[in-house]
Structure 1
Amino acid sequence: MKFSHGQAALLLAGTALWTGTVAAQNAVQLEAITLYGSDDGAVIDGYRAVTATSATKTETPLKETPQSVVIVTPQMLGDQGVTSIAEALKNVSGAQGSALLQTPAYESTILRGFQAEIYRDGLTSYLNTGDPNAMAGVERIEVLKGPNAILYGGGVGTPLGGVVNIVTRKPQDRDFTTLGLTYGSNGYTEPSFDINRRLTGDGTVLFRMNGSYVRSGSDVDGIKTKRYSLSPSLTFGHGTDTRLTVDGYVSKWKQQEYQALPAWGTVAGDFRLSRDLYIGDPDIPDSHTSTRKVTVTLDHDFNDNWSSKTQLRYGKNEVSQTTQIIISNAPDAGASSWNLYNSFVPAKQTEFSLSSSIEGRLTTGAMEHRLLFGADYSRIDDWSLMYMDMMPVGTVDLLNPSAWPSWSMPQGLAMTDGDATYKTAGGFVQVQSTLGKLHLLGGVRLAHLGMESVSINYARTDTISETRILPRIGAVYDLTDQISAFASYSEGMKANPFTFYSGSPKPEYSRQAEAGVKFDSGAGLSGSLAAFRIERENVPVTNPADPFMLTSIPEGQQMSKGFEADVVWQPGGPWKLIANYAYTHAELTADIPNGAPAGSTLPGVPRHSGGLWLDYDTREAGGEGWRVGGGIHAVSSANIDQMNLYKTAGYATIDLSASYTHEIASVALSIKNLTDRDYFTPYYRYLDGRAARGEGRKVLLNVSKTF
């Protein structure tokens, strides 16, 4: 942690300001202390979620949903002083968020051992570029675990590990303004705002805009991050049968590319590198990513039983990654020396998504039914190149680095290139039926997946055109008024972006089965226990005949299985508790040719992980008062590389927070990694994996005022 006396003085002076991305959330979101329903039908009570929409796209109680769903509620985000999506996901069993310093040019969030996808208000957020950790516009996070192709088929196909659906703040029928500033360790500075206005006297036209700007240093030498997001939203027809909402989203991220550290010298080997080391030219140009999106949502209620929803999104992404890279986890130029190569990766994407559905309720005899049917279409145009020097530009002893070679643009043809178009389309039908204590869910999707990828350098065009019926079935049985048992099965199909095939490409298929129990007792205890198994086939693996390891063949098979528990205890007094635990075993189920054998554990997936947060809250219904909370997050060791040669050690970190609210002002103090625990996490997207420095102790002060 780099936290000077001067910064401490400024931090204390900051209490006079009106602020805080996180504290701003507290000031507005304290309403979550009492039961409320959001515009999209979700019902939240403090830390406890009663209903959610992500799993079924209908207003279904979690207790009647035959699949694992976890909601990170507004009050959780505010009480814990959450500043990133990855931090929020610590509240979810089996979830590992993207590394904070990672360039947001791809998504590396993991659920149940496999890659998850980030959705924004129910539509794919391809690559999640720009500032993916901006919290100013986030109301809550709904996590749906496992493949669910019935309702989520955009982007490049079915999400595999699951969906992390970011539900954004929408215009409200009242006027308020919240201003903010968060300040803390490593010069972390984040001004933010949230403005909501009724534009007409009858409240039918509403406007809301929120945004934040972050400027921060890092525990890693020399790294400086700048990022911002801006989210305007306009609703017409609020409170009427027909509502039209237009959401904008503009976001940008800028920082030196961080490639983490090699395994040798961090978690293995006979020497230890500085954990704060930044590898490469310290004057390298910044990498940057940006996104611009507009989403139009039309909701219409035909009557009390039938309604429709149509969403359309158009967006553009840009990526520029500039790196002076090492290509080996072990020294390749001497005892503690590595060769360096200049690299440059530019990319652009254009995305278009359209989804429309009709929901209805009806009764036949003793059975109640909820019907959902609709269709969706998605097209993504994705252009990217990778330039990399064929020969080293220099050699550096990473144990005792001195002069770094200057970065320059790599010369010659791109090592990889691709101009790809991904199309998904589908029609779906879902039926939810209740007969007494039995709740049934059945659905089917006629899914089409298309891909065309053109490589000029490789003089080839890869295509996929596949149509497949994807089922989803599930059942919940109420054992008592408080406990229910559930089981479900679903299938998925997807393409794999950024994959250059040496033979004919194939779509990847997935299957998930899970079973468990859900509970919601009168004593304030709620949650779920679940066992699951996910299988994958046609997974791209490195072509053993390619000496540069740049092309793939679709011959991989993988499996993940395990057990998860997510529990909330909220007895109605000042105490609240969140706890989660996951046992995850993810492995190869077929040999990779000339590579890792079957049985090898997948990189980046700890066998055990979990956390606990305990909060004592004296605030009244209006938000007045103080609260204090603390928690622990722990994970076991995890492999860095697919051959399982290197692994990180297990670790645990402790977080604390406290806040005080008086009238319309709030002050909150958060301490992350209280004991300043040193640890590494797998950073496996770089070639054969890397070890990333864990974030050290971080102190943040948030002061907010709403008027």
Structure 2
Amino acid sequence: MKHPLKLAGLLLASTSLCATIAFAQEVMDLGTITLDPILIQGLENGAVIDGYRADAISSATRTATPLQQTPQSVQVLSPELLEDQAITTMSEALGNVSGAQGTIPLQTPAFESTLLRGFPAEFYQDGMTSYINTGDANAMAGVERIEVLKGPNAILYGGGIGTPLGGLVNIVTKKPEPENFTELGLTYGTNNYIEPSFDINRQLSDTVLFRMNGSYVWSEADQDVIETDRYSFSPSLTFGYGTDTRLTIEGYLSRWEQKEYQGLPAVGTVTGDFSIDRDLYIGDPDIPESHTETRKLTFTLEHDFNGQWSNRTQFRYGENEVEQITQIILSNAPDAGPTDWGLYNSYVPGEQTEYSFNTSFEGRFSTGNWDHVLLFGADYSRIEDYSLMYMDYAGSNDLANPGAWPAWTMPSTLAMGEGNGTYTTSGAFVQMQSSVGRLHLLGGLRLAHLETIYDSEGYGRRDTLEETKLLPRIGAVYDLTDQWSAFASYSEGMKANAFYFYSSTPKPEFSRQAEIGLKYDGSAVSGSIAAFRIERENVPVTDPNDPMMLTSVTEGQQRSQGVELDAVWQPGGAWKVMVNYAYTDAELTADIPMGAPAGSKLPGVPRHSGGLWVDYDARADNDEGWRAGAGLHAVSSSKLDQANTYETDGYATVNASASYTQGGMTYALAVKNLFDTEYDLPMYGYMGGRVVPGAERQILFNISKRF
């Protein structure tokens, strides 16, 4: 029997081949191809959105394509939804997306832990890589909307170190608009949460627009000692608005400071015959704060040659700075006594410089009864990274009954080697979308090239990786009725994995995804249901011969498969309802040498997860009046570690919010975890997995004025 992924690929390939043959036959019959003029359907800031519902976006195909004709699972979190739910973190926002597990908000933003479909996701900003997502990764002031593309988006997104694997979270930022307004806001709440924010937009002339927004957040946490200090600032300037040639220049400055939080061990929290205080901060309470910072400058040049052809070119330069300071434990179980753990002073500085470039040409034309959208282009991304890790033994402490903590001192032992890494991704791509009647086809190829060089003085070794591969993406959508459509797609991806210290020569990681599903777009209800299967090989896994669990080998094989549902009910009156559900089965498909066996479930991935949000909006057409909403988010249990020794229980939380607007002034109240439910979250990827107590009830009050 053929492999199911190969069968899906062959099926889609045969569909595309039939369309190609039909196209060729028309060419021979006509002799000369007549290109009918078709106007480019421009999207306002890349999307068509009404309330919670998105009808079209450009990020999935880099062309203006209705979601109903896109052979891929795509979810869009609209500006109205983000505002109604009083979203303050990316993790909270991604609770609206099936199969998404967001990064713990208290995690130091020096690495990304978001999962989609059970596998790591990558963050992009306006279609370009946002490498390791440093700075204030939860800043919402400059966010217009959030677009989530599921699976290996191999053809159009290859920045950073290769193909996004579980999927892509694209943050679409607020752009200058042709009007004058100022909006000021202030949020205050539980744990002394305070957040002033602003958004200033000016039309400087008929063709020049300016916008600047930002926010500052200071807050305490339920956990002892922790205080978070973060801010973001985003100015932008557009030249040539309303003309055939437009240039937008965007700046971004963001910083985060906090004592690094490592969570709690499994023993003493989700298992064991003793208990650890849920609010315990492990380590010296006087430890210096960790920080991350990012600075970026982005240029976007758009040009319309005529009614059929256009070009979009982007360039971004960015700098990241990371300093992680921790008094860390290395085990989920006591390793220095019955309830005692060994403590290690750790210091991890890092600096990254990134250069990203992409350009694409889009053409729209017709041949006979077929309508076509052709996209071709190239991209290049280079990351220069300097990082190291110092670690010294500091002593031990009883976490069940903590005594005095050892004082943190700067460690001098080079634990993971001083290294300089250069990660280069480049590629050329071509994509064709063709429609005739009820049939919509998509096919594309990417010639992808990866190159990594890592020099480790501490280990006295130089690791290199270089690979070139042709990556396909094919898909088809068939309109069953005016409301229902069926879709199928197949794609492949390739990536390298940075920020691992390898004990053997690394290999590139390869991935494959097949997806089938149904989409519905009626007068009141819209949504999709999809079944998927993703396979990975050459996944970094912990070297079983390393007693410190600090180095990796590229020997892992994994698979994730499941079913996802996302839907919006928006009948046109006051009610709006958004619902999502995911069944995800993610596991190892090969033994890890001297480690977890095949069949072990991947940590941090619940088998069942879902959410519901119901909103009643009684505001008038001028947005004045009141609205109120409430929602539920629930997940089943998930494994905490790769060996499946520990797991967290399932849980459900309820959120609610309400707002009233009058004379441009808005008063809003939000309650997170309304019933103060006690639950635990898995801290994916932190030293083999950790437990993080879920946030207690939080009350937020916001007042804002637009004028």
For the aligned pair, the TM-score class normalised by the smaller chain equals over 0.9
Q: Which amino acid aligns with 2:161?
A: V
Q: Which residue of 2 aligns with 1:267?
A: 270
Structure 1 window deviating more from structure 2 (63-72 vs 613-622): it is 613-622
Q: List per-residue Cα deviations over 1:329-352 (Å, max 9, x = no partner).
A: 011111211111100000000000
Q: Which amino acid aligns with 2:227?
A: K
1:44 to 18, 41, 49: 49
Q: Which amino acid aligns with 1:377?
A: Y
Counterparts of 1:585 and 1:94 in 2: how far apart (Å)? 10
Shift of 1:414: 4.1
Counterparts of 1:306 and 1:136 in 2: how far apart (Å)? 34
Q: List per-residue Cα deviations over 1:12-59 (Å, max 9, x = no partner).
A: xxxxxxxxxxxxxxxxxxxxxxxx985333100100000011110111
Counterparts of 1:689 and 1:144 in 2: how far apart (Å)? 26
Q: Which residue of 2 aligns with 1:29?
A: none
Counterparts of 1:68 and 1:153 in 2: how far apart (Å)? 19
Shift of 1:549: 2.2
Shift of 1:417: 2.8
2:46 and 2:59 in contact (8 A); partners too: no
Q: Does 1:475 align with 2:480?
A: no
Q: List per-residue Cα deviations over 1:292-319 (Å, max 9, x = no partner).
A: 0000000001111111000000000000
Q: List per-residue Cα deviations over 1:192-245 (Å, max 9, x = no partner).
A: 100001112x2x101000000000000001100000000000000001110000
Q: Which residue of 2 aligns with 1:338?
A: 341
| SS of residue paired to 1:75 | helix
Counterparts of 1:562 and 1:643 in 2: how far apart (Å)? 22
1:369 and 1:434 in contact (8 A); partners too: yes
Q: Which residue of 2 aligns with 1:3?
A: none
Q: List per-residue Cα deviations over 1:374-419 (Å, max 9, x = no partner).
A: 0000000011101111xx3121111111211100011233433321
Cα distance, 1:645–1:550 mapped onto 2, change above 3 Å: same
Mapping 1:568-587, distance limit 5 Å: 568-587=568-587
Q: Which amino acid aligns with 2:419?
A: G
Counterparts of 1:369 and 1:309 in 2: how far apart (Å)? 18
Shift of 1:687: 1.6
Unaligned runs of 5+ in 1: 1-35
2:77 to 47, 72, 79: 72
Q: Which residue of 1 aligns with 2:235?
A: 232
Q: Which amino acid aligns with 1:362?
A: F
Mapping 1:73-88, distance limit 5 Å: 73-88=78-93
| SS of residue paired to 2:95 | helix
Q: Which amino acid aligns with 2:142?
A: G
Counterparts of 1:409 and 1:367 in 2: how far apart (Å)? 67
Counterparts of 2:684 and 2:381 in 1: how far apart (Å)? 29
Counterparts of 1:334 and 1:691 in 2: how far apart (Å)? 20
Q: Does 1:294 align with 2:328?
A: no
Q: Which residue of 1 aligns with 2:210?
A: 207
1:37 and 1:43 in contact (8 A); partners too: no
Once superposed, what is the RMSD of the aligned Cα atoms? Answer: 1.0
Mapping 1:345-356, distance limit 5 Å: 345-356=348-359
Mapping 1:184-333, distance limit 5 Å: 184-200=189-205, 202=206, 204-333=207-336
2:97 to 81, 84, 92: 92
Counterparts of 2:132 and 2:150 in 1: how far apart (Å)? 19
Q: List per-residue Cα deviations over 1:252-276 (Å, max 9, x = no partner).
A: 0000000000000000001111111
Give the aligned length.
Answer: 667
Task: Report the identity percentage.
Answer: 68
Counterparts of 1:458 and 1:402 in 2: how far apart (Å)? 37
Q: Which amino acid aligns with 1:478?
A: D
Q: Which amino acid aligns with 1:604?
A: G
1:517 and 1:529 in contact (8 A); partners too: yes
2:43 and 2:64 in contact (8 A); partners too: no
Q: Which amino acid aligns with 1:628?
A: A
1:424 and 1:449 in contact (8 A); partners too: yes
Counterparts of 2:509 and 2:414 in 1: how far apart (Å)? 30
Q: Does 1:59 align with 2:64?
A: yes
Counterparts of 1:363 and 1:689 in 2: how far apart (Å)? 54
Q: List per-residue Cα deviations over 1:622-661 (Å, max 9, x = no partner).
A: 1011000000000000000000000000000000000001
Counterparts of 2:192 and 2:550 in 1: how far apart (Å)? 39
| SS of residue paired to 1:116 | strand
1:184 and 1:699 in contact (8 A); partners too: yes
Q: Which residue of 1 aligns with 2:430?
A: 429
Q: Which residue of 2 aligns with 1:143?
A: 148
1:40 and 1:53 in contact (8 A); partners too: no
Q: List per-residue Cα deviations over 1:112-166 (Å, max 9, x = no partner).
A: 0000000000000000000010000000000000001100001010000100000
Counterparts of 1:280 and 1:574 in 2: how far apart (Å)? 51
Mapping 1:615-654, distance limit 5 Å: 615-654=615-654
Counterparts of 2:684 and 2:657 in 1: how far apart (Å)? 31
Q: List per-residue Cα deviations over 1:56-110 (Å, max 9, x = no partner).
A: 0111000000000000000000111111111111110000111010000000010
Counterparts of 1:177 and 1:542 in 2: how far apart (Å)? 51
Q: Which residue of 2 aligns with 1:11?
A: none
Q: Does 1:698 align with 2:687?
A: no
| SS of residue paired to 1:445 | strand
Shift of 1:516: 0.3
Counterparts of 2:43 and 2:676 in 1: how far apart (Å)? 38
| SS of residue paired to 1:421 | strand
Shift of 1:369: 0.3
Q: Which residue of 1 aligns with 2:400?
A: 399
Q: Which residue of 1 aligns with 2:3?
A: none
1:454 and 1:460 in contact (8 A); partners too: yes
Q: Does 1:134 align with 2:135?
A: no
Q: List per-residue Cα deviations over 1:458-513 (Å, max 9, x = no partner).
A: 11111111100000000000000000000000000000011122221110000000
| SS of residue paired to 2:553 | strand
Counterparts of 2:422 and 2:588 in 1: how far apart (Å)? 29
| SS of residue paired to 2:603 | coil
Counterparts of 1:67 and 1:38 in 2: how far apart (Å)? 19
Q: Which amino acid aligns with 2:619?
A: R
Counterparts of 2:42 and 2:400 in 1: how far apart (Å)? 56
1:37 and 1:44 in contact (8 A); partners too: no
Q: Does 1:378 align with 2:381?
A: yes
Q: Which amino acid aligns with 2:501?
A: F
Q: Which amino acid aligns with 2:430?
A: V
Unaligned runs of 5+ in 2: 1-40
Counterparts of 1:429 and 1:590 in 2: how far apart (Å)? 35
1:379 and 1:422 in contact (8 A); partners too: yes
Shift of 1:553: 1.4
Q: Which residue of 1 aligns with 2:28?
A: none
Q: Does 1:125 align with 2:139?
A: no
1:166 to 147, 171, 192: 171
Q: Which amino acid aligns with 2:265?
A: P
Q: Does 1:418 align with 2:419?
A: yes
Q: Which amino acid aligns with 1:650?
A: G
Q: Which residue of 2 aligns with 1:669?
A: 669
| SS of residue paired to 1:416 | coil
Mapping 1:567-606, distance limit 5 Å: 567-606=567-606
Counterparts of 2:561 and 2:702 in 1: how far apart (Å)? 40
TM-score, length-scaled by structure 2:
0.94
1:416 and 1:550 in contact (8 A); partners too: no
Q: List per-residue Cα deviations over 1:504-540 (Å, max 9, x = no partner).
A: 1110000000000000112x10000000000000111
Q: Which amino acid aligns with 2:248?
A: T
TM-score, length-scaled by structure 1:
0.94
| SS of residue paired to 2:91 | helix
Q: Which amino acid aligns with 2:123?
A: I
Counterparts of 2:493 and 2:243 in 1: how far apart (Å)? 37
Counterparts of 1:337 and 1:196 in 2: how far apart (Å)? 56
1:130 and 1:251 in contact (8 A); partners too: yes
Counterparts of 2:204 and 2:43 in 1: how far apart (Å)? 20
Counterparts of 1:52 and 1:415 in 2: how far apart (Å)? 43
